Every structure is written in C-alpha cells, then in structure tokens.
Amino acid sequence: MKKVRVLPPATVANVVCGFDILGFALNEPCDEFEVEITEEPGVRIVNLDEYNLPTDPEKNVSGAAMLAMLEETPDIKGCIIYSKKIIKPGSGIGSSAASAAGVVVGLNHLLGNRFSNADLVRFAMFGEKVASGVKHADNIAPCIYGGVTLIRSIFPLDIVSIDAPPLYATVVHPQIEVRTADARQILRQKVLLKDAIKQWGNIAGLVAGFLKKDYDLIGRSLEDVIIEPVRSILIPGFDEVKKRSKDAGALGGGISGSGPSIFMLSKDELTAKAVAKEMEEVFIKIGIDYHTHVTSINSQGVKIIHSA
Amino acid sequence: MKKVRVLPPATVANVVCGFDILGFALNEPCDEFEVEITEEPGVRIVNLDEYNLPTDPEKNVSGAAMLAMLEETPDIKGCIIYSKKIIKPGSGIGSSAASAAGVVVGLNHLLGNRFSNADLVRFAMFGEKVASGVKHADNIAPCIYGGVTLIRSIFPLDIVSIDAPPLYATVVHPQIEVRTADARQILRQKVLLKDAIKQWGNIAGLVAGFLKKDYDLIGRSLEDVIIEPVRSILIPGFDEVKKRSKDAGALGGGISGSGPSIFMLSKDELTAKAVAKEMEEVFIKIGIDYHTHVTSINSQGVKIIHSA
C-alpha cells in the first residue's frame, strides 16, 4: 500500500487545572489528509483547501513533521501530502497538531506501524515548532494516543493515557484572534505557592476523577486558579459562558489551549447541546460571530481510512 | 459498650510532589488509646506513658478533638481517654494526628458509627490546631480513611481515597529536631510557574500511577522540585539517604511531613529492608541516632480492638 487517508482530530490542551500537561481528543472536527509514498525525493505538499498554507515543507507544519520522520526512514525516498484543513488555524483546538500528527500517523500506517506512538509524537513536535516556535506535545499527544493524555514530563517525554468515562464536549469558537504568543506573555513567571497547592490538589482530583469514573469529582476538580483568571480577560464573554454552561448542567470547562475557543464537559449529549445553546446566546448578545461543536471524547486518536 | 481500645497509625503527609494534599497511613507504629464513656461531664485524660503531655483537655491534642466531638453528641456526658503514645511527638510521621484521630474514631465506634469519616476529620482537626496552630488534614485524613488519601480541598473539605497497589515503606527518624514552624518559614511564598507545572505533572502522574497500579510511573513521578530542595537542607544526610535508597531499589520517597523523618516506598519487603540498612549506614556514619521502621501501607486506618 502506497497511499492512505487519515482524519486527525481536534484536541483540547491546557485542560483547566492541567495547564501544559493535560489534553484530550475530540471526535469532531477532523482534518482530512492523504499521504502517498513516492519515488520522488522529499516532501511535496498539495493544498486542497482555501487556507494557502506554505507548500515549502520546512515552513509547513505537516511538512516539517514529515521531514523529521523521513530522516529515520531511509528506505522511503519521499511522499506527497494532500492537505485539506477543516480545523480552523488559530481556533485553539489543536489545528497545527492535527496537521503534524495526521501525516506521521498516516506514513507509519503505510510502514506497517514501525514506530511507537511516542516516536510519532517526537516527529510531530517538529511541526509544532514551525507553528509556534516551541516543541510541545499538549495537543499532539491526545491527537495521536486518543482519549485523555497526561504529559508528565516533556524532556524526557513521558506520556500517560488516562482512561476516562464517556464525556461529551461542547466547544465554542468565537471569531476573534488570540495570538498564542500574547497568551503566553500575559502569564506571570511566578505564582503564589498557596495557589500552586490548590492547582495540584485539583489536577490530582481531576486525574482521580477520570480514573475512578467519578463525574462529581471531575466537576469539583475543574477549577484553575492560576492561568484562567489571567487569560480569560482576552476572551470576551468568557465568564458568562462559563456560568451559564454550568447552570445548564456542564461539569465544568475553560479555555481550550490558549483560546479563543472555550470548552465545556458534560455527562450526556443532551446537556452538551443545552450548553451549546447558552454559549451561542452569549455571543449573539455580544455580537461576535462563532462556531460551536457538540461532540464526544475521541478514544482512538487519528482515524485511518484506506484510500482506493 | 462503654469502652474501646484503638490503635491509630503513623502517617506520611506531604508525599513528595503532593505537598499539603497527599498522605498515606502506615501499618506501624501505632499509638494505643482507650476511650471510655462516663457519667462524669467533660474529658479526663490519663497518661500511660512518659511524655508528660498536658492533661487539660483544651491543651491536649486528643482532648481538643474529643471536646469538639462532644459538642455534637449531647447524649454523651463525658469520657476518659487513656493515652499511651508510641509514635514519638515531633518525628514527622503524624504523631499528633494519631492522637486526635484515634480518640474520635474510638468514640464513634462506641456510638455505633454515627458520624461519617469526613465528620471525624473535622473533629480531629481541632487536635491539630492545638498541636501546630493550624487546622490541617494531611495526616488526619489517611489516619482515619487508611490507604492513600488526597485532600483536594481543605475548605470546603474534599477528601478522595486513592487506591494503590501493595507498597512497602521504610521510614528513618534521625533524632534531631525540625520544628514545623521553621520548616514552614523556610518556604518561599512564590514559586516559578515552570516549576509549578513540573510539580502538577508529577502529582498527576503519581495519582495515575497509584490508580493504574503502575509502579514504574509511581517511581518516575516521585519527584519534588519545589519543597524538597528547600526543606531537605534542614535534614543532615538527606541527599545521601535518597540516593542510596534508590540505588538499593526504592521507587522513591522524600521528607515525611515537615521532617525530620525520611520515607521511601518499595515494591516488596526485601527491598524495603535493604533500604533501611542503607539509611542506617548513613546516620551511623554521620553520628546521629535514628530509628527505622519497615512497614507497609495501612489500608484500614485506625484499628479498633474491643476491650474487656
């Protein structure tokens, strides 16, 4: 087999009290990529959408990830990436991670799954470096592993899958721009020890809640006393979205990645839909365009679809 | 039944990356208390050891906890506490918590377990306030619940039991004094965000390691980049004890409570005994007297023994 179609999913990183360490994959939206092994050396990128992303592989997120992988696959000369972005760049739900993760999972499939998931994360991080200047795995890990993933340590990389009970996610993407660089810069370099203690109590509670399948504990632990109070200022309507979502039955939630998307977790689909309605009303009132997604946690990671 | 004998166990709080939120109970040592319901109003304390602890109940750790409980048991006039301390005060393995937890568990047993564990923690915290001036549940929670306990939040109190695989603990108590107040004062009020992120990655990993019964993950997560580097300076030999313990096969460990005791966790008893030997050699070399305990995690909490 020389060609494969892959659907890498959107992901939520910086899950509330799990800033920089916890993420999860969504069932929707997904990008659509095809990876084809060729005799032509190097990586060729064919864009099938309107985003005009760079076709120089070193400047393209998928391309950079693929080049890193090709360095360790001397038996492969090159490949073509057919790229159709569905996850809007800049939305805060792991668009660049999907680009990077999708193509390396695709090539690995064509190679008979020669590499481990940890290797694929390592390759895909080269794509994140092109996107944001920083090698991080917050979105890549859940995109590749599926489900909820803990990045206990980034160097050396230590990814831990956290089994979670069924959860529905509602995501709203207000059509404003929050630059990752701005969202980083606004954070203080030092935090109060007493706040840090609250935060690690909550992340411990959240991980325990997932693994014990205790929805109430998940809800009580979805609290961020360090990052959210600072970053939420960049997202108009944030506080009202959060309040109304919880009043509508959401377990809790917060900023997705570095924003501007906001996510909420619910126990069932009906609640997740009611939450979407609340979110929409807030942004209609403020007068900001938005997209909402009602979906569930994707336990599989990148979906592989064989091409003809 | 009017009288009961209880054996409240020693406990380890501030478990490495779980400062202020994570503790566990040990099978040994245990204090020995008897609680007897009387017609005589108030709390009378009878010391059966050499520690000369105060017999004024308001100034006595067990007494203060019992007085708090009696306020909510109007049908009981008073009680006598027979107190034999085995866990040395000031050792850092929850001596005051054992005093407070033991007597309230004892009285609750005599009352047909009228109160929940959460209520008992609430009463026992009055004892901790007498001991250290601060109401904290780090040692009381594991002493009462048994096993590994997470205190996700102290106000409002939210205690989560964390199932763990079988673990052996080696504890060394060097005969030096580390005052809790000094150990608190030495801490910085602010910490670097990047260190806090490492810490919450590790506590998330540690909780996941316990619940997934993954010993390697437990070992990798037993790392404290915030408290231990500061506090370990107060404990001569700390770094060498830690290094030699891990070389001997311990999963990891650190300061117990605010010291001076040091604990190490191991997968099996043989390793835990080898670790004790290493600890002893370090303190023999330095010339500091010590006690060691080789024991396992107590999943039961306060042991209840019916009196004649």
- Residues A15-70: pLDDT tens digits? 999 999 999 999 999 999 999 999 999 999 999 999 999 999 999 999 999 999 99
Give the burial string for B188-210 (b: 16+ CB within 10 Å, else e): eeebbbebbbbbbbbbbbbbbbb
Question: How high is the pLDDT of residue A306?
Answer: 74
Question: How high is the pLDDT of residue A178?
Answer: 83
- For chain B, give the mean pLDDT: 96
Mutate to test the interface with B, among A151, A157, A207 (most CBs of B within 10 A): A207
SS3 B13: coil
Is A265:A168 a contact under the CB 8 Å cutoff?
Answer: yes
Question: How high is the pLDDT of residue B228?
Answer: 97
Chain A, residues 129-168, CB within 8 A of chain B, namely 150-153, 158, 160, 162
Q: How far apart are CA A258 and CA A20, in angstroms?
A: 10
Interface ipTM > 0.85: yes
**Residue listed under structure tokens 């990052």:** A227
Number of structural domains in chain A: 2
Whether residue B174 sits in one domain with residue B84: no
Domain of residue B199, CATH code = 3.30.70.890
Is B126:B61 a contact under the CB 8 Å cutoff?
Answer: no
Q: What percentage of chain B has pLDDT greater than the value 90?
A: 93
Separation in Å, CA B50 to CA B9, B83, B84, B85, B217 = 19, 11, 9, 9, 43
pLDDT tens-digit readout, B144-160: 999 999 999 998 999 99
Whether residue B217 sits in one domain with residue B133: no
Within 13 Å, how many C-alpha atoms sit on residue A20's CB side?
Answer: 23
Choosing from B36, B128, B228, B278, the catalytic residue is B128
Does residue B128 have an active-site annotation? yes
Using CA atoms of B210, B211, B212, B214 in order, give the dihedral in degrees to the nearest 10: 10
Question: How high is the pLDDT of residue A238?
Answer: 98
Q: Which residues contact B39 (CB under 8 A, 6 or more apart)?
A: B77, B78
| H or E stretch at A285 | helix A269-286
Q: Which of A82, A122, A84 has the alpha carbon at shortest distance from A101?
A: A122
Look at the alpha carbons of A57, A58, A63, A66 in this order and tell me if their dihedral is positive or negative. positive
Other beta carbons less than 10 A from residue A236's beta carbon: 17
Whether residue A145 sits in one domain with residue A112: yes
Does residue B237 carry a pLDDT above 60? yes
Q: Which residues of A touch B228 (CB under 8 A)?
A: none
Domain around A101: 3-162+299-306
Whether residue B10 sits in one domain with residue B97: yes
A190 touches chain B (CB under 8 A): yes
Q: From the CA of A250, how many Å to the nearest CA of chain B?
A: 20
- Give B64's pLDDT tier (boundaries 50, 70, 90): very high
Is A38:A79 a contact under the CB 8 Å cutoff?
Answer: yes
Facing residues of B192 across strands? A190
Whether residue A37 sits in one domain with residue A145: yes
| H or E stretch at A137 | none
Q: How far apart are CA B67 and CA B129, in angstroms?
A: 13
Separation in Å, CA A121 to CA A162, B78, B290 = 17, 64, 48
Please identify every stretch of chain A with a pLDDT value under 50, giving residue numbers as ranges. Answer: 308
Question: How high is the pLDDT of residue B5?
Answer: 97
- Give B244's pLDDT tier (boundaries 50, 70, 90): very high
Helices B95-110 and B117-132, axial angle in degrees (round to 10): 140
The phi and psi torsions of A278 (rounded to 5 degrees) equal -60, -45
Question: How high is the pLDDT of residue B88?
Answer: 94
Whether residue B107 sits in one domain with residue B70: yes
pLDDT tens-digit readout, B86-136: 999 999 999 999 999 999 999 999 999 999 999 999 999 999 999 988 888
Does residue B220 carry a pLDDT above 90? yes
Lowest mean pLDDT among A60-74, A128-142, B29-43, B216-230: A128-142
Domain of residue A60, CATH code = 3.30.230.10
Whether residue B156 sits in one domain with residue B9: yes
Q: What percentage of chain A has pLDDT greater than the value 70?
A: 99
Q: What is the mean pLDDT of residues B232-239?
A: 96
- Give B307's pLDDT tier (boundaries 50, 70, 90): low
Question: How high is the pLDDT of residue A225?
Answer: 97
Whether residue A172 sits in one domain with residue A146: no
Choosing from B73, B180, B269, B280, the catalytic residue is B180
**In this structure, what token pair is assigned to residue B197?**
């992120």
DSSP letter for A308, please.
-
Question: How high is the pLDDT of residue B133?
Answer: 85
Question: How high is the pLDDT of residue A307?
Answer: 58
Whether residue B151 sits in one domain with residue B174: no
**In this structure, what token pair is assigned to residue B52?**
């000369």
**In this structure, what token pair is assigned to residue B146?**
């048994």
Q: From the CA of A77, how many Å to the nearest CA of chain B?
A: 38
Q: Which of A100, A156, A166, A167 has the alpha carbon at shortest distance from A131?
A: A100
Q: Which residues of B touch A208 (CB under 8 A)?
A: 150, 160, 162, 207, 211
Q: Which residues of B touch A151 (CB under 8 A)?
A: 201
Q: What count of residues does chain A have? A: 308
Whether residue A157 sits in one domain with residue A9: yes
**In this structure, what token pair is assigned to residue B45?**
């304390």
Cis omega (within 30 of 0) on the bond before A260? yes
Q: How far apart are CA B52 and CA A220, in angstroms?
A: 44
Q: Which residues of B touch A200 (CB under 8 A)?
A: 17-19, 21, 196, 199-200, 203
Facing residues of B47 across strands? B83
Whether residue A131 sits in one domain with residue A34: yes
Q: Which residue on chain A is closest to B213 by alpha carbon? A: A211
Is B126:B100 a contact under the CB 8 Å cutoff?
Answer: yes
Q: What count of residues does chain B have? A: 308
Whether residue A152 sits in one domain with residue A7: yes
Give the burial string for B259-271 (b: 16+ CB within 10 Å, else e): bbbbbbbbbeeeb
pLDDT tens-digit readout, B165-215: 999 999 999 999 887 778 888 999 999 999 999 999 999 999 999 999 999
**Residue listed under structure tokens 């601060």:** B134
